């Protein structure tokens, strides 16, 4: 079959199918390690999808799998072809890759380098037709490279070289253009001009662009969709403003960032470790990217304590506040559970066993984990003898109310990152009994009030974590 007819067929195939690229459960292994795991991704024709993620997240591997350069398992279709199976020439007519650091052979001129893009279109014996030469000249003109055409490519600046390599990719006349961090070696002006150029070509040629990008702000500006990869998995796949959120970036990148909403798209700013450095000896930098107040809710044995500990896993010193001792007369199962929580905390953490949680929060100099508020509340109610209060009580019974107010005050103004664990319902007491119902209502009220003062509320159900958003009226 002649090249023209093949690409014609492919174009028709693409026209019939909306998606230029379709991944279903795609995994890639490299050196026995899974670098891309179960990726589902559909890219519509003419779209620009930015793939972001920390170093080693699998961005390049995913692109290479799409280009058929790495074997992948799962279902992968580019323009109806399987890049792992179809002949190399056929894939190269459909998909072009713009590498991060292109290899420039010595003695090759700009025109020769661009002409390499015609390789998959050449005849069997590598003869260039007039159409091939014409395509090269057209590309040189479009990218304003005609002046540089006879220059050795080795002597070009970074921006010029990326333009040449883009030219080579365009001379391939692909339907899908893969960019592997195309601008990471460029200054900000050249980054913009190269990406603008890609975008112009995308609009003119109805190209589909899938770009692995390092700069999150640029990714959000040029990508119409952002896919966030972490350890080979898709963590988020949505519009730039949905994906680029501080908490998510903190979690995936371990970075302190602020995200500004702008018309052109979200702008991601790095935030210094201590934005207001105090005079004198600097306080120990706090490495935690955690929002200052986090409430972790969950049922019994849901894994909520473990999740809370993981949130603080990066902090060297944590004050572990364990309300107690366990009230007399409570069931032994509960006592055993509380004990096991205390034993499971990481080494190097300081344990403080106290009923005065508010005081502990006020005086803390290191991140605090309170495990858990339900135990504290039970202790406070126990001490106040509040188990026999009036029916249908919707306010705090004194002196429990005063104690709760102290806690909320300390929670709001804690000078350190604080995480508190609480039971999502009043488990640990027998439902149906009078004291059980009372405790359930009281705990629900406490949780509600603490949650209102928290930056982040998470629900743990059977080891799975969900971040909770406030319901807007």
Partner 1 sequence: MALDLAGEERGAAPTARVRALTRLDDRPRMRRTKIALGALVCLGAVLVGCLVGPAGLSVSGVLLELLDAVPGVEVDSGMSLTQQAIFWEIRLPRVVLGVLVGAMLAVAGTAYQGVFRNPLADPYLLGVSSGAALGATLGIVAGGTIGPVGIPLLAFVGGLIGVAATYALGSSVGGGRGAVVIVLAGVAVGAFFNAIQNFVQQRYDDSLLSVYSWMLGRLSTDGWSDVVIALPYVVVSCAVILLHRRVLDVMAVGDVEAASLGVDPARVRLVLVLTATLGTAAVVSVSGLIGFVGIVVPHAVRLLFGAAHHTLLPLALLLGAAFLVLADVVARTALTPAEVPIGVVTALVGAPFFLVVLRRSKGAL
DSSP, residue by residue, 9-54: HHHHHHHHSSEEEEEEEEEEEETTEEEEEEEEEEEETT-EEEEE-S
Minimum gap (Å) between residue 22 Cβ and partner 1: 20
Least distance from C-beta 75 to partner 1, angstroms?
Answer: 21
Q: How many residues bind partner 1 (CB under 8 A)?
A: 38
Q: Whole-angstrom Cα distance, residue 249 to residue 216?
A: 10
407: nearest Cα among 439, 454, 344: 454
User: Does the footprint of partner 1 cover residue 137 (CB under 8 A)?
Assistant: yes
| Pairing of β 72-78 and β 19-30 | antiparallel
User: In this complex, which beta carbon is closest to partner 1, that of residue 133 or of residue 464?
Assistant: 133
| Cα distances (angstroms) measured from residue 243 to each of 36, 184, 239, 335 | 19, 21, 6, 42
Reference 444, options 460, 458, 424; nearest CA is 424
Any contact of residue 7 with partner 1 (CB under 8 A)?
no
Residue 348, φ and ψ in degrees, nearest 5: 90, -10
Phi, psi of 403 (to 5 degrees): -65, -45
With vertex at residue 316, the alpha carbon angle to CA 315 and CA 320, rounded to the nearest 5 degrees, is 75
- Going by their DSSP bridges, the two strands 225-230 and 233-238 should be labelled as antiparallel
85 lies in the site for partner 1, by CB under 8 A: no
Q: Is 81 in the site for partner 1 (CB under 8 A)?
A: no
Among 43, 50, 58, 68, binds partner 1 (CB under 8 A): 68
Taking CB under 8 A as the rule, does residue 377 contact partner 1? no
Q: Least separation, in Å, of the C-beta of 132 and partner 1?
A: 11
Q: Give every strand in the sheet of 418-423, ordered side by side.
A: 350-353, 319-322, 368-371, 418-423, 293-298, 456-461, 464-468
243 touches partner 1 (CB under 8 A): no
Q: Which of 41, 52, 62, 67 binds partner 1 (CB under 8 A)?
A: 67
Establish if 184 lies at the interface with partner 1 (CB under 8 A): no
User: How many C-alpha atoms does 71 have within 13 Å on its Cβ side?
Assistant: 5
- Tokens read off for 320: 């572990």
Question: 428 with 379: CB under 8 angstroms?
Answer: no
Residue spans of alpha helices (H) in 238-344: 240-243, 246-253, 304-311, 332-344
Least Cβ distance, residue 104 to partner 1 (angstroms): 8
Give the binding range for partner 1 (CB under 8 A) out of 113-121, 283-291, 408-416, 434-442: 113-121
Nearer to partner 1, 60 or 294 (CB): 60
**Interacting residue with partner 1 among 10, 36, 97, 114 (CB under 8 A):** 97
Residue span binding partner 1 (CB under 8 A) among the ranges 119-127, 205-213, 307-315, 392-400: 119-127
Q: From 135-143, 189-197, 358-366, 390-398, give the range in contact with partner 1 by CB under 8 A.
A: 135-143
Interface mask toward partner 1 for 21-60; x: CB under 8 A: ----------------------------------------
> Is residue 350 a contact residue for partner 1 (CB under 8 A)?
no
Directed axis angle between helix 373-384 and helix 434-452, to 10°?
130
Nearer Cβ to partner 1, position 89 or 306?
89
Position 214 contacts partner 1 (CB under 8 A):
no
**193 near partner 1 (CB under 8 A):** no
The nearer residue to partner 1, 89 or 214, going by C-beta atoms, is 89
CB of 322 to partner 1, least distance (A): 52
Question: Which residue in the block uniquely carries the two structure tokens 């572990």?
Answer: 320
Binding partner 1 (rule: CB under 8 A), the pick from 13, 84, 119, 465 is 119
* Site residues (vs partner 1, CB under 8 A): 64, 67-69, 88-93, 95-97, 99, 102-108, 112, 116-117, 119-120, 122, 125-126, 133, 137, 140-141, 146, 149, 154, 168, 172
């Amino acid at each position: 079959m002649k090249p023209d007819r093949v690409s014609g067929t492919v174009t028709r195939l693409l026209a019939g199918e909306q998606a230029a690229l379709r991944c279903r459960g795609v995994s890639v292994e490299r050196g026995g390690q899974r670098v891309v795991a179960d990726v589902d991704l559909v890219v519509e024709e003419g779209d620009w999808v930015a793939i972001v993620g920390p170093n080693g997240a699998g961005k390049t591997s995913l692109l290479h799998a799409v280009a058929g350069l790495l074997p992948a398992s799962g279902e992968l279709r580019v323009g109806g072809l399987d890049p792992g199976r179809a002949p190399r020439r056929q894939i190269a007519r459909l998909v072009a890759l713009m590498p991060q650091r292109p290899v420039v052979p010595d003695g090759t001129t700009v025109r020769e380098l661009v002409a390499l893009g015609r390789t998959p279109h050449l005849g069997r014996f590598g003869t260039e037709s007039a159409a091939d030469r014409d395509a090269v000249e057209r590309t040189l003109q479009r990218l304003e490279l005609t002046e540089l055409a006879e220059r050795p490519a080795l002597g070009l600046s970074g921006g010029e070289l990326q333009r040449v390599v883009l030219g080579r990719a365009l001379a391939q006349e692909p339907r899908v253009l893969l960019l592997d961090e195309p601008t990471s070696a460029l200054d900000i002006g050249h980054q913009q001009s190269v990406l603008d150029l890609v975008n112009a070509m995308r609009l003119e040629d109805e190209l589909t662009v899938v770009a692995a990008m390092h700069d999150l702000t640029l990714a959000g500006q040029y990508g119409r969709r952002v896919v966030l990869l972490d350890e080979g998995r898709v963590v988020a796949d949505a519009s730039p403003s949905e994906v680029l959120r501080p908490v998510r970036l903190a979690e995936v990148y371990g970075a302190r960032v602020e995200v500004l909403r702008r018309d052109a798209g979200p702008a991601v700013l790095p935030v210094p470790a201590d934005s207001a450095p105090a005079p004198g000896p600097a306080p120990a930098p706090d490495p935690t990217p955690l929002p200052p107040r986090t409430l972790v809710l969950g049922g019994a044995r849901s894994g909520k304590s473990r999740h809370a500990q993981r949130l603080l896993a990066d902090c060297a010193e944590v004050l572990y506040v364990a309300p107690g001792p366990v009230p007399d007369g409570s069931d032994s199962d509960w006592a055993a559970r509380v004990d096991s929580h205390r034993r499971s905390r990481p080494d190097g953490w300081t344990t403080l066993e106290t009923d005065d949680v508010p005081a502990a929060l006020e005086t803390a100099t290191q991140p605090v984990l309170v495990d858990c508020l339900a135990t504290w509340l039970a202790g406070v109610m126990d001490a106040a003898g509040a188990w026999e209060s009036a029916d249908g009580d919707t306010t705090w019974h004194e002196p429990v109310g005063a104690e709760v107010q102290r806690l909320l005050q300390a929670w709001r103004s804690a000078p350190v990152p604080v995480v508190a664990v609480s039971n999502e319902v009043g488990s640990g007491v027998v439902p149906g009994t009078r004291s059980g119902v009372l405790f359930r209502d009281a705990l629900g009220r406490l949780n509600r009030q603490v949650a209102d003062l928290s930056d982040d509320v998470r629900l743990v159900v059977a080891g799975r974590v969900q971040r909770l958003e406030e319901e807007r009226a």
